[in-house]
Amino acid sequence: MPAALSPAGRLARAADYDRYLSAVFAPAGCREALFALIAFNHEVARIPEAVSEPMLGRIRIQWWREVLEAAFAGQPTRRHEVALPLAAAIRAGGLERTAFDALLDARESDLESEVPPDLAALERYAAATGGTLAALMLQAAGAREASALEAARRVGTAWALVGTLRAAPLSAAQGRVMLPADLLAEAGLGPEEVRAGRAFARWGAAAAPVGRRAGELLRRARQARRAVPRQGRGVLLIARLADLYLARLRAARWDPRDPRLDCGPLRKQAVMLTGAILRRY
């Protein structure tokens, strides 16, 4: 673990420990950029739960759009503990503007709290959020090959799908239902049951297809393992944590309330360290 952390590093560690670990296992020269990307993702992901109405959330999203506009135009950046290192990461890594736009568009859609109609829609959202972030992180670590970035998108998309399953009780408590409407209907569940917390005993039929798709994306990402440069593989070690979470979800019959889903920091570090030693995500 780094001996001292920047403000962005501290925020990344506190808000998104799993992705923070993936940054720690990346080369030291790109860690600050990775911390900035993780912190930025946290800042925009929490907007829906931090505002009382969608318009206020759109104002916050627009603030970040203006931060990005300045960063890509080479203009002075607003003095903010995440905006400043984010601008530095963009300039140092030659990161793509379209990727940030896609991520912000997806986060803005969160303000509407709509239930995804099917698994394809959920996967598109996961790709625009987790997939985009993973690809940006791999770029920041020096990867440029299209096949490597596609592997990162698949890892990040799978990670987002797994996160959707794990966070279902919290999302429901916030009034959000992220599992696809058609899978819920096939399981005999309605969105209101989910929001009321009454659905999780019958959750498996709706959750299992999402978990299977996440596993498939991880397998496809690993088929392109040789395309990912060595210095970027640490970023994708989060795939190993996705395996761990999927295994525990299956053992819990997909019930996200099962205490077996909890993984301590030492266990997570061990999983990632094994991957780093083997040089396999």
**pLDDT value of position 114:** 87
**pLDDT value of position 269:** 95
- Given pLDDT bands bounded at 50, 70 and 90, which one contains residue 1? low
**Domain 7-278: CATH superfamily, name plus number:** Farnesyl Diphosphate Synthase (1.10.600.10)
Angle at 253 between CA 249 and CA 255, to 5 degrees: 70
- Given pLDDT bands bounded at 50, 70 and 90, which one contains residue 45? very high
Q: Is the pLDDT of residue 87 over 90?
A: yes
Q: What is the spatial distance between Cα 235 and Cα 13, in angstroms, rounded to a whole number?
A: 15
Do 111 and 58 meet the contact criterion of CB atoms below 8 Å apart? yes
Give the three-state DSSP class for 57.
helix
Cα separations (Å) of 52 from 94, 105, 106, 193, 252? 36, 19, 19, 23, 34
260-276, pLDDT tens digit by residue? 888 999 999 999 999 99
Q: What is the spatial distance between Cα 124 and Cα 14, in angstroms, rounded to a whole number?
A: 27
In percent, how much of the chain has pLDDT > 70?
99
Which H/E stretch holds residue 82?
none
Rg for the chain, CA atoms, rounded: 18
**pLDDT value of position 79:** 86
**pLDDT value of position 194:** 92
Q: What is the spatial distance between Cα 53 and Cα 31, in angstroms, rounded to a whole number?
A: 35
CA dihedral 191, 207, 176, 110 (to 10 degrees): -130
Average pLDDT score over the chain: 94
Placement of tokens 């970040």 in the chain = 64
**pLDDT value of position 55:** 95
**pLDDT value of position 3:** 62
Q: Is the pLDDT of residue 211 over 70?
A: yes
**pLDDT value of position 2:** 62
